[in-house]
Chain A
Amino acid sequence: MATRSTALEEHPSAQPPGSGRSEERSLLTGSEIVCRALEDEGVETVFGYPGGAVIPLYDALPKAGFHHVLVRFEQWAALAAEGYARATGKPGVCLVTSGPGATNLVTGLADAMLDSIPIIAITGQVIQPLIGRDAFQEVDITGITLPVTKHNYLVNRIEDLAPTIREAFHIATTGRPGPVLIDIPKTLFLQKHPYTPAQTVHRRGYQPTSVPNIRQVRLAANAIATARRPLVMAGHGIMLSGATDLFRQFVEKTGIPVAHTLLGLGSFPESHPLGLGLMGMHGHKHVNDALDECDLLLNIGARFDDRATGQVSGFAPNAFVVHVDVDPAEIGKNVHTDVPVVGDAAEVLRLLIPEVEQEHRDDWLAWIDSRRDRALDEALEERPAWPEPYTIIKAIAEATDGEAVVTTDVGQHQMWAAQHYGFDHPDRWITSGGLGTMGFGLPSAIGAKIGRPDREVWAIIGDGGFQMSCNELATAVQENLDINIAVINNGYLGMVRQWQDLFHAKNYSEVKIGAPDFEKLAEAYGITGITVRTDAEIRPAIDRARAIRGPVLIDFVIEPEANVWPIVPPGAANSGMLHQQRYEG
């Protein structure tokens, strides 16, 4: 061996071509490697905020082949990345510094985790010799984010940087998607190493099941063949697997009506005779009635969240349950399942469609239709003088032809939008379903618009949530984004107030929330602000906002104590839902 290596030293030409001096020339800094690896993953946009530990990385950014969007708060970087991912189907990327920069991401990561959104979070870490010494801006972010990421890494060697980034994208985007965090010590950004595009990922412990077991698919088909009142519960998984076309084929062939979960909106057109709309806590009456009545519930890509099921013991009490999910841990977790089908929704539907018969179910559809709550439609026709929330949502839907991307915060306005926009297309409805993150609407709209500049984007937000993230108006202005912001302003933390109204004897504790003049706030940011105080002003304001290029804010001042109807009281079964008796005028 010794002789051999001596020979090599004496005769450098004996080395393989491409190494040696040319290798030295191709040495990249860790920062450059991160940028190259992101470029190789097809990243076009990164949402971030610089700070001490990532200064060397930011040094390399001007030469990077992607666009960096400077947010105003790290939490919104994660949610903007989510909005981007949800609008484009591609992973979103956010980049922040160590310590507080990293901890500020936590809410966004948890949000992405619960809604299965692929985002990659890159955090700077203090230099390696200081790790574990409570250094300035040091936190154990991999420890902190363990339960809110699909996987996370602390990279310790520069040679691991590129392969880790490759693996992170693979894990974030395959199987059940989710957030992956990569923590990189500052030391690594400064070291040098050759960059080799990373190879295919192979991890023994990560091989998600995509193609289902045909035996299970046939059991599902048998259940469909014998059911008299079948119902599909359509979840987010249908869109995450890009299966909306296959799903429509399946539904039209089997004639099974579709109940949408909150995140399942858009998986099947609501305007279709078989599209029923929202189920669950604020679901439409006829949808929850259908759940009570169905003898087969076919859940495709939903996780039986408690806001969808209500009290589990009273959920779909007469149904044989088939559950299609890419994540085997979801099977039987919340609701007893008779036939589990583990697989990607698209793969399952591809195998299931040939196994099912063409059917029409007129009696069942007529029964469901007979359970519709007509009172609301009648109430809407009354058109009170003030801007009524349902009317606002319907007016936005009408003006945008149902084609806009709609983002929301969390609360009453979110439920009004879910109930009444009427989603006919996938990837248009961007909302924080699982975590229920206030402030989500504006940053996710920014991410969505950057990802899909060709689409009209509306952020429908409450006055509470807007005050959490209105600092992102500056980002929207800096990026000159053509987004419309509709603040549904009731001067209350509306959903909490509604619960206090209905379940706590109107004890309105800490829900009255003041706000600045939003029109003036818009002006301060250099954008157009419009205030709407009457029903007659709704549509003109929407039309004006659509005509203006750049961000526009409309402040819809609504009746302070308007409630979302219907509502399933917390802890009750869906059958125990409360209905609006009469229009609260």
Chain B
Amino acid sequence: MKNRHTLSVLVEDHPGVLNRVVSLLRRRSFNIDSITVGHSEQPGVSRMTIVVLGRDQEVEQAGKQLYKLMEVLKVTDVTPLNCIAHELALIKVAAKSQTRSEILQIAQIYNARVVDASPTTLLIEATGPEEQVDGLLNMLKAFGIRELVRTGPVAMMRGTSTVGVKEGPRPDRELAVAGNGTVAISN
């Protein structure tokens, strides 16, 4: 069965690295739902959060293929792990003077905030799990959504666990020992 998987990928911050990662996923026939890239806590290391749709085994294969890129330091499938996965959305919604207060109430329910306004629109910034953003959008649909941009999720494990990469051999061996199961990586 195909499931959505969220991969945290630590990469060296080199020119073209995004191209390499995306190109690899494309040629292995992976559909990328969303991808975000930004700095990590380590200088010179970027962190990508990639959401792909695939069978567990296919996603494990994708993880192994990603490791073959020189710039890739660590791949973690955080889907089964206890993690926070949040995205940010900017929503420009049509707002008349009669509907404005109702929209503000809805935004409040979803912990979203208004960051800009015009006589005919409100610009709402929402953060949270994808389902929460979906819910807010669903509620706002009736008023008329003029423009929407979503980042796709970024993810981080709860508690003290991190996906940070240490110096030393890559966890290829552990990957292989896990065999055909999930991408179990421990180093």
Contacts and interface: CB of A to CB of B under 8 A. Distances in A.
Interface of A: 142-143, 146-147, 150-151, 154, 171, 203-209, 212-213, 215-216, 327-329, 331-333, 336-338, 340-342
Given A151-B70, A332-B179, 14 more contacts: A205-B70, A205-B71, A208-B172, A209-B173, A213-B173, A216-B177, A327-B68, A328-B67, A328-B172, A329-B65, A331-B64, A332-B180, A337-B179, A342-B172
Residue from the set A216, A327, A328, A341 with the largest chain B CB neighbour count within 10 Å: A328
Interface in B163-183: 165, 167-170, 172-173, 175-177, 179-180
Interface string B33-58: 00000000000000000000000010
A578 to B, nearest CB: 32
Given A329-B65, A336-B180, A203 B70 contact: yes
B73 A204 contact: yes
Nearest to B180: A332
B177 A147 contact: no
A340 B72 contact: no
Residue from the set A146, A212, A216 with the largest chain B CB neighbour count within 10 Å: A146
B130 interface: no
B69 interface: yes
B64 A328 contact: yes
B12 interface: yes
B159 interface: no
A207 B175 CA distance: 14
Contacts of B173: 209, 212-213, 328, 342
Interface of B: 11-12, 16, 19-20, 23-24, 27, 57, 60-61, 64-65, 67-73, 165, 167-170, 172-173, 175-177, 179-180
Contact of A205 (B27, B69, B176): B69
Contacts of A150: 68
A539 B173 CA distance: 52
Nearest to B169: A207
Contacts of A341: 176
B159 to A, nearest CB: 26
A209 B61 contact: no
Q: Is the interface of A mostly helix, strand, loop or mixed?
A: loop
5 contacts: A147-B24, A204-B12, A205-B69, A328-B175, A341-B176
Contacts of B70: 151, 171, 203, 205-206
Given A143-B19, A205-B71, A332 B177 contact: no
Nearest to A151: B70
A332 B67 contact: no
B26 to A, nearest CB: 9
B19 A340 contact: no
A331 B23 contact: no
Nearest to B69: A205
A143 B19 CA distance: 9
A144 to B, nearest CB: 11
Given A216-B177, A331-B176, A340-B177, A147 B65 contact: no
A209 B172 contact: yes
Residue from the set A142, A212, A329 with the largest chain B CB neighbour count within 10 Å: A329
Closest 7 CB pairs of A and B: A329-B64, A342-B176, A328-B176, A332-B180, A340-B176, A209-B172, A328-B172
B170 A331 contact: no
A442 to B, nearest CB: 30
B22 to A, nearest CB: 10
Contacts of B23: 146-147
Contacts of A142: 16
B37 to A, nearest CB: 16
A209 B169 contact: yes
B42 to A, nearest CB: 10
Contacts of B175: 328, 342
A210 to B, nearest CB: 10
Contacts of A328: 64, 67, 172-173, 175-176
Given A146-B23, A329-B64, A204 B179 contact: no
B177 A329 contact: no
A88 B123 CA distance: 67
Given A203-B70, A207-B170, A337 B12 contact: no
Contact of B61 (A207, A332, A337): A332
A329 B165 contact: no
Contacts of B179: 331-332, 337-338, 340
A413 B67 CA distance: 38
A140 to B, nearest CB: 10
A203 B11 CA distance: 12
B20 A329 contact: no
A337 B180 CA distance: 8
Given A147-B27, A329-B64, A205 B19 contact: no
Contacts of B72: 205
B175 to A, nearest CB: 5
Contacts of B57: 332
Contacts of A209: 169, 172-173, 176
B170 A213 contact: no
Nearest to B23: A146
Given A337-B180, A340-B179, A329 B68 contact: yes
A341 to B, nearest CB: 8
Contacts of A154: 16
Contacts of B176: 209, 213, 216, 328, 331, 340-342
Contacts of A208: 172
Given A146-B20, A205-B72, A333 B169 contact: no
A208 to B, nearest CB: 7
Residue from the set A151, A204, A332, A338 with the largest chain B CB neighbour count within 10 Å: A204
Contacts of B170: 205, 207
Nearest to B170: A207
Contacts of A203: 70
A154 B11 CA distance: 18
A542 B179 CA distance: 51
B112 to A, nearest CB: 39
